[in-house]
Structure formats: C-alpha cells, structure tokens
C-alpha cells in the first residue's frame, strides 16, 4: 500500500476484532480512534527526535486509556478528499493604512488612497478578468507573462469543477482594494482537505500530525492547482505602494491562517524573490528540482544538437527517426486550429495516463474545452496521427519567454516507441526555437529528460506552520533535504549531456 492517504477515504481505524471506527458514521469519538493511532503508530523518521513534552500535548492521551489498550491496529486509512470539519472563513480581513503620501506616479483611477481593504472571495468569478489579469501581468511583466496566473486558466479550473470545494480545493482568493474599490492585488489561494495535485509533497507531515492526534487538514494552499510552474503568487499592481501592499497581503495571509485555525499555509512554486521575502516573514523554506531546456539562440533543432555530446546527439536522432518508421505524423496546433474533437480525444489520452500513474484524473473534460476557448493562441497542442486517427497528444501553454509543457497522453491500445520523447520534449524544443522563446519547462520529475537537453533547476516553496512543536523538526528536515537536493543538482550538472564549456 502506498504511504499516501487514499483518495476519498474517511479516517478509519481497523481493529483486530474486525470492527471499524469511522469519523462520520459511528458514535465512537474521534479522540478514541486518535488515541489508538498514537499508541500504535511510530513517528515518521523524517521528524528525528521530538521534544520530550511533545507527545503529551495530544488530547488523545488524556482519556479512555483502557479502551485504547484493548485494541490493536492492523490498518490505518486517512486523508478524506472532503474536509471532515468545516472551517469558517472571515471574508473581511480588515483595512490597513499605508505609510507616505504615494501621490507620485499614481494613475487617476487609483487615486491617492492610503487605506487598502482585504477580503476573501470564494470564486475567481467574483473578480473581473481585466482586474485579475492586470495584477498578474504587472507582477510578471509582459516579457515574463505566465499563462497559468491568468483569470482564463484559473476560472476554467473552477467552472469545470476541477478545483472546487467538492474536490477538496475550496477557492479562498485574497483580494486587496483601495478606497475607490480599485483592485490593487490578488492571491490565488485554496482551502485544501488533502495534498493531491500540488507536486510539493507533505504527506509525511500529515502522517506525523495524525500520529500525534493533531489535525493537518484543512490547510491553506497558495498555488496554481495541478500545475508545478514557478511564478509570483502575490500579484500586485505596479503602484508606488507596491512593496507595502505586498507586505500587508503577507500579514493578512498569516492572520487568516491563524483565525481559521488550520494547521498551515503553503506557498508552492513562488518566484525566488518571493521565496526570500517570505523567509523574513517566518516561513520555512524548501527547495526542489525540475528539468528545463534553455535556448542558446539556436536557429533550428540541428543547431541545438551540435551543442550535445556525440553519443547524446546520436541517441536523439535515432529516437526521432522511429516516429516516421511507425507511420506517425506530428503536428503542432494553436488556438483556432484546435477543435472540440481534439480536446475530446486528448481528454481520453489524459485519462489513460492517469489510470496508469495515479488513478483518478484531476481535470475534467470540460476543463480542456473551457481552457482552450479562453486561452486562444496561448495554447499549443502537439498531436500524433496514425493515418487519419489521433493517437497521442501533449499540451503546452505559451508564456512571454517560456513554453510550458503540461500534460501528455496516448491511445491505450498500442505502444509507440519514443513517441513520448518526441511529443513532449523534441516538439517543444522545435516550437520554442520557432517562437524565439528562451526556456521550455517540461513539468515535474523525470531524470530521463537530462540526456535530452533538459537540465536541473531549483524550484521553491514556503511553509507557515502553526504548531511550534512540529515546526522545529520539520525545519530541521528541510535543512537536511536542501543539502541533499543541492548535491544531486551539482552532480547532475557535472555529468550533463552538453559539450564541455556549454552552460
């Protein structure tokens, strides 16, 4: 059995007698079940040595000890996709006064107001696309435009039922306004009742919380759902008070976490600048690793290959030749070229991938149709055809200087050697050269990307934990993990596929 919680399960303790304690269906109290867990579950090894008084904090150790002793745990299931305890949000986060006059450079419609008002909205549809996108574009600049931060992408997740309360992603977006009701900043935020679709793994942390009778879910997650793409998470307009507004939003995020009585707030895949700033605000820092391709002003694909070591160059050429020998035709479709039938086929390919990897698709069929309609030419769909039949596809989004490779899928009936590499990596490189983009981000994980020209880069996340006794061991773990990640990245860089001297 996987160490991750089962999707859609209740907190369930299976006793040796065969009876079952369930949080929602039986009269036996949760503390009794939790006491059994505490008695029979060892702390996860990542925590190291816990403070002597830590275990004593658990309310599960304070009552019904005799009942605990009569039971023996044979299995433990937890991690309900839906939160078992409703967390009420304070939709008004208060008003804040900014310092200084700030009159210089302030546009007419933004006024010279010193006060800003923060609130929580339960759907991005409560914010106009123009207002949200203005914040997103100002946060990145046009040259670094990030399509995943847009209203079109995020609203497609909500409207399609992919990232909503019913799937454990309750939208709780932060909105900052001035006295004239102008939106100055936004933050994509979700109240989560599980840890799926995040790509920064904290299942062991949840294990530790539950083992000691504490509740890890719900938690706040500041991210782009199902999307491990780096970018700013606190999106603020380009105004004179910008830094102050950012600081106020960070304070409000921490206050919301405290008032909502959730375990933690996680900001995943922020920019490096935000990552450093959040450290100063008491967030724990974590790093990870992805594999990106860099465009060194290549004129074409062969130009890129000439930077590779001879053996790697030969291997790539052999892999690409396999496509034509299988009578496959590759096409890159954009915007209006992508028809509804393409999305229907791609959804089936995507489901085939999820069936083979993690079981349940996060995204609905409507998501692809909605997103394709709203994102237009920012969508690049690579497809493979065998005759007149579509047999595989790879979804990409186009940013200001980056091509983002997201999802891949193939027809389940047959295996096509090297097709995954061609659709996801080589077609993306060709497209980036053609569009004069500097980077291809090919998604999370996958050491096999290295020999195909995708090198390791650092990714970031920040974590604000409310329980001080958990904070310290997790902080120690992150320090050790960071050392290991940096060492692995160094070794991979030194043994990369490029000729000596090419960075």
Mean pLDDT of 481-491: 96
Would you give the DSSP letter of residue 426? I
Residue 283, C-beta contacts closer than 8 angstroms, at least 6 positions apart: 267, 462, 463, 464
Q: What integer pLDDT is reported at residue 29 of this predicted model?
A: 33
What DSSP assignment string belongs to 77-106? E---SS-SSPPPP-SEEEEEEPSS---TT-
Q: C-alpha angle with apex 62: 60 to 63, nearest 5 degrees?
A: 85
Rama region for 426: left / alpha / beta (φ>0; ψ in -120 to 50; rest): alpha
Structure tokens at 463: 């974590």
Instruction: Please report where in the chains the tokens 């909500």 appear, as a residue.
Output: 158
Structure tokens at 462: 């920040």
Instruction: Please report where in the chains the tokens 């930077």 appear, as a residue.
Output: 307
Q: What integer pLDDT is reported at residue 413 of this predicted model?
A: 84
Q: What integer pLDDT is reported at residue 89 of this predicted model?
A: 65
Summarize pLDDT for 415-455 with one digit per residue, the tens: 999 999 999 999 999 999 999 999 999 988 788 999 999 99
Alpha helix (H) ranges present in 178-235? Answer: 203-211
Structure tokens at 305: 């290959």
Residue 253 confidence (pLDDT) above 70? yes
Confidence of residue 304 (pLDDT cuts 50, 70, 90): very high
Residue 229 confidence (pLDDT) above 60? yes
Residue 497, C-beta contacts closer than 8 angstroms, at least 6 positions apart: 308, 309, 312, 450, 451, 452, 453
Residue 410 confidence (pLDDT) above 90? yes
Q: What integer pLDDT is reported at residue 90 of this predicted model?
A: 62
* pTM for the predicted model, two decimal places: 0.81
Contact 377, 334 (CB under 8 A): yes
Summarize pLDDT for 107-155 with one digit per residue, the tens: 444 445 489 999 999 999 999 999 999 999 999 999 999 999 999 999 9
Summarize pLDDT for 161-219 with one digit per residue, the tens: 999 999 999 999 999 999 999 999 999 999 999 999 999 999 999 999 999 899 999 99
Q: What integer pLDDT is reported at residue 1 of this predicted model?
A: 35
What DSSP assignment string belongs to 19-83? -EEETTTSSS-HHHHHHHHHHHPPPPGGG-SPPTTTGGG-GGGGS-HHHHHT--EEEEE---SS-
Q: What integer pLDDT is reported at residue 380 of this predicted model?
A: 98
Summarize pLDDT for 77-107 with one digit per residue, the tens: 333 333 334 555 667 788 888 876 444 444 4
Mean pLDDT of the chain: 83
Helix (H) or strand (E) segment spanning residue 389:
strand 389-398
Summarize pLDDT for 25-65 with one digit per residue, the tens: 333 333 332 332 233 233 333 333 333 333 334 333 333 33
Radius of gyration of the chain (CA): 25
Helix (H) or strand (E) segment spanning residue 285:
strand 284-294
Mean pLDDT of 367-373: 98
CA distance 393 to 385: 9
What is the signed CA dihedral for 91, 95, 101, 105, rounded to 10 degrees? 0
CA distance 364 to 161: 7
Q: Is 9 exposed, middle or buried (0-12, 13-18, 19+ CB in 10 A)?
A: middle
Residue 20 confidence (pLDDT) above 90? no
CA distance 302 to 29: 66
CA distance 136 to 236: 7
Structure tokens at 189: 């935020």
Summarize pLDDT for 256-284 with one digit per residue, the tens: 999 999 999 999 999 999 999 999 999 99
CA distance 87 to 191: 9
Structure tokens at 271: 């920019």
> Is residue 484 helix, strand or coil?
helix
Q: What integer pLDDT is reported at residue 68 of this predicted model?
A: 35
Q: Name which of 231, 230, 227 is nearest 288 in CA terms.
A: 230
Residues written for the chain: 503
Lowest mean pLDDT among 59-73, 91-105, 395-409: 59-73
> Is residue 280 helix, strand or coil?
helix
Q: What integer pLDDT is reported at residue 39 of this predicted model?
A: 30
| C-alpha count within 13 angstroms, C-beta hemisphere, residue 486 | 8
Would you give the DSSP letter of residue 393? E
Instruction: Please report where in the chains the tokens 């302030």 appear, as a residue.
Output: 106
What DSSP assignment string belongs to 165-191? GGGTEEE-EEEEEETT--EEEEE-EEE
Q: Is 439 exposed, middle or buried (0-12, 13-18, 19+ CB in 10 A)?
A: middle
């Amino acid at each position: 059995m996987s160490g991750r919680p089962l999707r859609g399960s209740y907190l369930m303790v299976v006793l040796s007698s065969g009876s079952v304690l369930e949080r929602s269906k039986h009269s036996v109290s949760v503390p009794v079940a939790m006491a059994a867990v505490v008695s029979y579950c060892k702390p996860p090894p990542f925590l190291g040595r816990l403070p002597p008084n830590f275990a004593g904090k658990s309310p599960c150790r304070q009552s019904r000890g005799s009942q605990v002793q009569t039971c023996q745990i044979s299995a433990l299931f937890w991690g309900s996709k839906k939160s078992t305890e409703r967390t009420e949000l304070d939709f008004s986060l208060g008003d804040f006064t900014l310092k200084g006059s700030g009159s210089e450079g302030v546009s007419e419609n933004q006024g010279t107001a010193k006060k800003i008002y923060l609130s929580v909205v339960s759907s991005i549809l409560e914010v106009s696309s123009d207002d949200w996108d203005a914040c997103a574009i100002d946060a990145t600049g046009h040259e670094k435009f990030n399509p995943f931060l847009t209203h079109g992408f995020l609203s497609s997740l909500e409207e399609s039922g992919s990232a909503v309360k019913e799937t454990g992603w309750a939208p709780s977006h932060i909105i900052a306004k001035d006295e004239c009701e102008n939106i100055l900043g936004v933050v994509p935020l979700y109240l989560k009742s599980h840890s799926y679709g995040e790509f920064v793994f904290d299942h062991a942390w949840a294990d530790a919380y539950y083992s000691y009778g504490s509740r890890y879910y719900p938690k706040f997650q500041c991210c782009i759902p199902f999307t491990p793409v780096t970018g700013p998470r606190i999106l603020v307009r380009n105004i004179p008070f910008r830094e102050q507004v950012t600081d106020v939003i960070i304070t409000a995020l921490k206050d919301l976490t405290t008032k909502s009585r959730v375990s933690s707030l996680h900001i995943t895949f922020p920019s490096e600048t935000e990552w450093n700033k959040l450290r100063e605000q008491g967030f724990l820092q974590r790093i990870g690793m992805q594999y990106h391709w860099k465009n060194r002003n290549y004129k074409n694909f062969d130009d890129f290959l000439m930077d590779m070591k001879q053996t790697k160059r030969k291997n790539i050429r052999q892999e690409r030749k396999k496509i034509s020998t299988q009578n496959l035709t590759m096409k890159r479709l954009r915007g209006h070229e992508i028809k509804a039938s393409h999305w229907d086929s791609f959804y089936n390919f995507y489901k085939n991938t999820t069936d083979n990897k993690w079981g349940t698709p996060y995204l609905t069929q409507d998501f692809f149709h909605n997103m394709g309609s709203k994102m237009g030419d920012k969508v690049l769909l690579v497809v493979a055809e065998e005759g007149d039949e579509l047999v595989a596809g790879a979804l990409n989004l186009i940013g200001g200087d980056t091509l983002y490779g997201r999802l891949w899928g193939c027809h389940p009936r047959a295996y096509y050697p090297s097709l995954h590499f061609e659709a996801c990596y080589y077609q993306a490189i060709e497209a980036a050269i053609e569009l004069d983009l500097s980077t291809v981000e090919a998604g999370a994980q996958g050491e096999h990307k290295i020999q195909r020209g995708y090198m390791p880069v650092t990714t970031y996340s920040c974590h604000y934990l409310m329980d001080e006794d958990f904070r310290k061991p997790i902080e120690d773990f992150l320090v050790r993990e960071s050392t290991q990640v940096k060492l692995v990245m160094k070794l991979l860089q030194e043994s990369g596929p490029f000729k000596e001297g090419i960075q």
